[in-house]
Amino acid sequence: MFDTFAFATLPEDHGGLRQAVREIIARHVATLPLERRARSWQGFDSAFSRALGAAGLLGLTLPTAYGGGGLGPFERFIVVEELLSAGAPVAAHWIADRQSAPLILNFGTEAQRQAYIPRICRGELVFCIGMSEPGSGSDLASVRTRAERTAGGRWRVNGQKIWTTNAMHSDCMIALVRTSGTAADRNAGLSQLIIDLKAPGVTVRPIVDLTGDAHFAEVFFDNVELGEDALIGSEGEGWSQVVAELAFERSGPERIYSSVVLLDAWVAHLQALGRRDADALVGRLTAELATLRAMSIACTARLALGESPVVEASIVKDRGTTFEQDLPLAIADDLAAHPDELVSADLYRALMYVTHIAPSFSLRGGTREILRGIIARGMGLR
């Protein structure tokens, strides 16, 4: 079962990519406080993303003709691994680099590619994903936001999106909307539009989360008028495009490294104290990390062969987020099992931040139950 999902070796980093990322990290990230780095891919810093773009480290898998790196998924793995393991603030380019640009490359017109991809590769254009709505979470095919054709083939959009990461910082949203039929038609009649968030009629309202951060937002569309060229891909094909987009969203190493900055801080704490009663716990977490890394590389190897490894990516994401969620709990228990030991304020804050945000790890990008349903389908159970 799933026989091709097997150990693969990450090719040599001939282009010196790791070193290039490390130099930028040394300048922009190394001085950030622990709790900022613990925010990992939720940290937003346009200057940092532009610096990566200027160094040719964004859009690595995109064609050079559009300003990309012309490289493959393995090279992207290397760069992403370096960024996440350092806790770099990647949010300003994350979504565009990971899924919007590949989507535009695959389904967009030549004019759309020219208009968006080079600027994404420079780290200048911020994208967000407009899938979820108040009534449509896991059941994405039930979206109600509507786009209608107006005179001259233009579009008029009405409706609402929610939980849209970085909408308040974004230039554009790629939204899944209904262009014909009703919610009862399910995945027929859906399309994807590129919505200019500066257009009249768009209202973005940030939502504060339980840690006090506001990384996502509600977005309202009130008779928003868009040009003909807002449609991306084919009208009515939104569902299959979204499925392809989610395969990009789910398969990267970000699903295993969200709390690795905390792991490092705890290891440093144990080392500073010379405490050795946590060897087995450190070993367990390290073995899990190593196995997940091998699984993530194995999934990347399928991407590199041009496949769309939907089941493999779901397996890596479900397991990776389970690990990321377990980590703060295990570390908290270890620290508080030593009530007379001094824990720095930095470590404590980072620990509690990750503890509180961790439930989101298995919600964003598709819940645990939905991913396991995809795996079960791959096993021939549904």
Ligand X SMILES: Cc1cc2nc3c(=O)[nH]c(=O)nc-3n(C[C@H](O)[C@H](O)[C@H](O)COP(=O)(O)OP(=O)(O)OC[C@H]3O[C@@H](n4cnc5c(N)ncnc54)[C@H](O)[C@@H]3O)c2cc1C
Residue type, 81: E
Among 4, 138, 150, 291, binds ligand X (CB under 6 A): 138
Angle in degrees, CA 249, 251, 256, rounded to 5: 105
For 255-265, letters b (16+ CB in 10 Å) and e give bbbbbbbbbeb
Among 74, 221, 248, 257, binds another protein (CB under 8 A): 257
Contact mark string toward ligand X, 165..204, x via CB under 6 A: x---------------------------------------
**Minimum CB distance to ligand X smaller for 73 or for 366:** 366
**Minimum CB distance to another protein smaller for 228 or for 279:** 279
Nearest alpha-carbon partner for 297 in 287, 278, 284, 312: 312
- Applying CB under 6 A, does 367 fall inside the site for ligand X? yes
Question: Residue 290 Cβ, how far from another protein at the closest point, in Å?
Answer: 4
Residue found by looking up tokens 């377990």 in the block:
326
Contact 194, 173 (CB under 8 A): yes
User: Residue 129, SS3?
Assistant: strand
Question: Residue 314 Cβ, how far from ligand X at the closest point, in Å?
Answer: 13
**Minimum CB distance to ligand X smaller for 250 or for 269:** 250
Contact 253, 296 (CB under 8 A): yes
Which range binds another protein by CB under 8 A, 59-67, 232-240, 256-264, 342-350? 256-264
Contact 113, 104 (CB under 8 A): yes
Contact mark string toward ligand X, 335..364, x via CB under 6 A: -------------------------x--xx
Angle in degrees, CA 272, 273, 274, rounded to 5: 95
User: Which among ligand X, another protein, none contacts residue 109 (Cβ within 5 to 8 A by kind)?
Assistant: none
Binding residues for ligand X restricted to 306-325, rule: CB under 6 A: none
Tell me how far apart the alpha carbons of residues 215 and 91 are, in angstroms, rounded to a whole number: 9
Tell me how far apart the alpha carbons of residues 349 and 268 are, in angstroms, rounded to a whole number: 15
- Applying CB under 6 A, does 164 fall inside the site for ligand X? yes
Question: Residue 69 Cβ, how far from another protein at the closest point, in Å?
Answer: 22
The footprint of ligand X (CB under 6 A) covers 128-132, 137-138, 163-165, 216, 360, 363-364, 366-367, 369-370
